[in-house]
Amino acid sequence: GVAKTAAAEQEKCFGVAKAGKNDCAAGPGTSCAGTSTVDYQGNAWKLVDAGTCETMGGSLSAKASNEAPVPQQG
């Protein structure tokens, strides 16, 4: 098969990572992988398949809250 770039297949999804399970984070009080301190930390993200972040209740940009994601109903 033809290899595709990871960037084309994945997107940063904010607010869906469990505590300590984020891929990287940006903003005050954060550094990088595994450093989120609460579940669904709004400024921590993990890579997910492109097009799935918002359907699982995440955000494509940092969120102000640490509320649990609410998946969209099909």
Q: What's the mean pLDDT in 11-30?
A: 82
Residue 32 is predicted with a pLDDT of 74
pLDDT(25) > 60: no
Burial class (CB in 10 A: 0-12, 13-18, 19+), 66: middle
Q: pLDDT tens across 29-72, in order?
A: 556 788 889 999 999 999 999 999 999 999 999 999 999 999 98
Q: Where are the domains of the chain?
A: 8-64
Closest CA to 14 of 40, 50, 51, 49: 40
Closest CA to 23 of 41, 44, 6, 46: 46
Residue 31 is predicted with a pLDDT of 60
Burial class (CB in 10 A: 0-12, 13-18, 19+), 3: exposed
Residue 49 is predicted with a pLDDT of 96
pLDDT(2) > 90: no
